Amino acid sequence: MTLPAVRVALAGALALAGCRTAAPDVPALVTSLTPESRAEITGAVSRALNGAPVTLADDALTREDTLVVERARHRSLDGTPSTGRDTGRPERFRLVQSGGRCVLVHEASGRRSTLEATTCRPR
Amino acid sequence: MTNRLLFVLAACSVVGLAACGGSNTTQSGSSTTYTPGVFPASSSLAAQCASPRTGTDPTTGKPYPDTPGSSTTENFWLRSWTNELYLWYKEVPDLNPGSYATADYFNLLKTTATTPSGNPKDKFHFTYPTAQWVALSQSGVEASYGAQFVVLASSPPRLVVVAYTQPGSPATTASLSRGAQVLTVDGVDLVNASDSASVATLNAGLFPAAAGSTHSFSILDLGAASGRPVTMTSANVTETPVQNVGTIPSSTGTVGYMLFNDHIATAEAELVSAFAQLAAANVNDLVLDIRYNGGGYLDIASEVGYMVAGPAATAGKTFEKTVFNDKYPTTDPVTGQALTPVPFHSTSQGFSGPQGQALPTLSLPRVAVLTSGNTCSASESIMNSLRGVGVQVVQVGTTTCGKPYGFYPADNCGTTYFSIQFQGVNALGFGDYPDGFSPANTLTSPGVTVPGCSVGDDFTHALGDPGEARLAAALGYFAGQPCPAAAAVAPPPGVGRSAASADGVAPKSPWRENRIYRR
């Protein structure tokens, strides 16, 4: 085998390896939200946001692949929101299936958390 | 009188010379001198704490910056921070930080001026424990039954009714609906009980602190002669912020209606869907029901403004401009960015859906808003900003809360402080409505007067029902009819309330301040 041929073969092998490691992200939904998977998702969201405490819905990520997280509503005694004129933005997460695994992606940072105790299916 | 004077003198001797006329206050780990009129940079005084925190700050992911200090050093930080950022810093008395407990000192660091109506100019000066303030939740998720209770009378004889419910919640499973009156909670008489233990039971049952809390109630449904037993378990309920979207045929054409309860992230997608639905129905007018909407994201308010008014009225116009104190005429002092007005957003901002998609619009020259004292902040911005670009805003209901202000909450030593730092003004530069907006015929109008009708809340009809008093008055206004007399307002049947009292507080808090009182 000539040197150029070796180079071509090597490049092809690397390309194949690259394809195997970069499985595409497929939008996904949680198939069954157990206490374990809920705790796992809550923990992944909290870690992505520096450990802040997070409350999720009982059906989180079972109907939509996007999870929007914002500051819990704090209200004054008269029931109105404490601030009420918020200029910030919420945090967004996406659930994807990647290589058969469920992965939670934090959109702002790109941080990916593989969910071992959670089962999901393509949306 | 003599005793009071003796107490003041004794207090001075305990605090010491530094607090009562001296100028030097030395703390462990820091040395700070109080010189009237001289304000060191707050950044040089931050995080010098009486009780320093350890561990990781969840807002930064880094160790807490706290170092040993005292309540006095915390007060020094508050003094400088207030002088730098408070909207009315020139009206704040310069008090010796060594003379006060920190909570008391913060409460004094605000203007004592009053509005033309006699109300305090600053009604929004408060703190939260930082550990509570930093808590996050999935958008719209709160531990509750999914019933929005309205407290029409918080002390005996009390009156608590359901304003609306969330679809798929424990409340709808229990068949609670608007106008239902709560008679008992866990066996306690809600109307008449007056002892502390009973009041605690009422608050715990009505406003559960967490999911999984089960309580029993007696509920008097609209039209029922007696109460029925109901048991509900609180859950992490997801709010549906936009409800009851529909159209109403009228003599003036097709009128659109929507109930918009909260400027949370998930509202964006629901609002887009609602306005698209009404645009497809070719509505001639819109009734925007924000009587229970206390605000939230300002950018969502801007989107609503655009979807009401359309491109011709809003292109290149300011939705709201933020104004800080006179030290910062061009720059946001917290972010360091140049001050640029919030425009009327013509595309989605990506709160709960794709970013950059064209928003539907009704392009209306007028809109009716249904309001109450719970209509606040970003909701008032919708009204003010539409008025700023020439859209006629018709107000039906009662006076709004009067909150044209905003904050950048700041943590120091475990307490998050809220001190008014900016005011929102519309395209005309107007933002002076500290007493709220009031319908024109309000008998004792404390706020900025807006064309429309003063009408109390009507719990005998569903929200969106053309027979509901506020919606009916809006439809009548569109048709050129006079406002109804106040007596037309309908409190729940069997309740001898005046029209004015049929408008209450709608507490939504997951943070459980008591809403029910002994007296």
Smallest Cβ–Cβ distance between A67 and the set B138, B350, B505 belongs to B138
H/E stretch holding B205 reads helix B196-206
Are residues A80 and B137, on separate chains, in Cβ contact within 8 Å?
A: no
B272/B360 Cα distance (integer angstroms): 7
- Using H for helix, E for strand and C for coil, what is the string for B1-60? CHHHHHHHHHHHHHHCCCCCCCCEEEECCEEEECCCCCCCCHHHCCCEECCCCCCECCCC
- Sketch the domain layout of chain A as residue ranges: 24-71+89-123
Smallest Cβ–Cβ distance between A70 and the set B58, B264, B506 belongs to B264
**Chain A residue closest to B154 (CA)?**
A78
Whether the predicted pLDDT of A2 surpasses 70: no
A96/A19 Cα distance (integer angstroms): 18
DSSP helix/strand/coil, A50: coil
Interface test with B, best of A38, A67, A85, A106 (most B CBs within 10 A): A85
Does the structure's ipTM exceed the value 0.90?
A: no
8-state DSSP, B449: E
Are residues A79 and B374, on separate chains, in Cβ contact within 8 Å?
A: yes
Smallest Cβ–Cβ distance between A68 and the set B135, B352, B418 belongs to B352
Smallest Cβ–Cβ distance between B138 and the set A51, A56, A82 belongs to A56
Average pLDDT over chain A reads 83
H/E stretch holding B303 reads helix B298-309
What is the distance in angstroms between the Cα of B493 and the nearest Cα belonging to chain A?
25
- Would you state the pLDDT for residue B504? 67
Chain A CB contacts of B161 under 8 Å are none
pLDDT tens across A63-111, in order? Answer: 999 999 998 877 766 666 777 888 889 999 999 999 999 999 999 999 9
Smallest Cβ–Cβ distance between A84 and the set B134, B296, B511 belongs to B296
**Chain A residue closest to B59 (CA)?**
A50
Mean pLDDT, chain B cut into blocks of 10 residues (519 residues total) = 26 31 41 90 97 92 95 98 98 98 98 92 94 91 93 92 96 98 98 94 93 97 97 95 97 97 96 98 98 95 98 98 97 96 97 94 98 95 98 97 94 97 98 96 87 96 97 97 67 37 52 39
Are residues B294 and A72, on separate chains, in Cβ contact within 8 Å?
A: no
User: Residues B249-277, buried b or exposed e (16+ Cβ, 10 A)?
Assistant: eeeeeebbbbbbbbbbbbbbbbbbebbeb
Smallest Cβ–Cβ distance between B126 and the set A57, A76, A79 belongs to A76
CB B393 within 8 A of CB B386: yes
- Would you state the pLDDT for residue B53? 97
B30/B66 Cα distance (integer angstroms): 13
- Would you state the pLDDT for residue A88? 87
User: Residues B462-479, buried b or exposed e (16+ Cβ, 10 A)?
Assistant: bbbbbebbbbbbbbbbbe
Chain B CB contacts of A95 under 8 Å are none
Spelled out in words, what is the top-level CATH class assigned to the domain B242-322+343-402+425-488? alpha beta
Chain B CB contacts of A92 under 8 Å are 350
What is the distance in angstroms between the Cα of A113 and the nearest Cα belonging to chain B?
17
pLDDT tens across B440-460, in order? Answer: 998 876 899 999 999 999 999
Chain B CB contacts of A88 under 8 Å are 297
Chain B CB contacts of A90 under 8 Å are 139, 265, 351-352
Are residues B403 and A80, on separate chains, in Cβ contact within 8 Å?
A: yes
Q: What angle do CA B350, A53, B204 make, to 5 degrees?
A: 105
Average pLDDT over chain B reads 88
Are residues A56 and B513, on separate chains, in Cβ contact within 8 Å?
A: no
Chain B CB contacts of A73 under 8 Å are 137, 142, 262, 264, 508-510
Smallest Cβ–Cβ distance between A87 and the set B56, B134, B298 belongs to B298
Alpha carbons within 13 A on the beta-carbon side of B497 = 24
B79/B38 Cα distance (integer angstroms): 10
Are residues A75 and B134, on separate chains, in Cβ contact within 8 Å?
A: no
Are residues B510 and A72, on separate chains, in Cβ contact within 8 Å?
A: yes
What is the distance in angstroms between the Cα of A61 and the nearest Cα belonging to chain B?
10
Higher pLDDT: B475 or A3? It is B475
- Would you state the pLDDT for residue A18? 46
Superfamily of domain B141-238: PDZ domain (2.30.42.10)
**Chain B residue closest to A67 (CA)?**
B138
Are residues B296 and A78, on separate chains, in Cβ contact within 8 Å?
A: no
B173/B189 Cα distance (integer angstroms): 24
B438/B447 Cα distance (integer angstroms): 5
Chain B CB contacts of A104 under 8 Å are none
Average pLDDT over residues A10-38: 73
Are residues B510 and A60, on separate chains, in Cβ contact within 8 Å?
A: no
- Sketch the domain layout of chain B as residue ranges: 2-113, 141-238, 242-322+343-402+425-488
pLDDT tens across B464-478, in order? Answer: 999 999 999 999 999
**φ, ψ (nearest 5 deg) of residue B113:** -65, 160
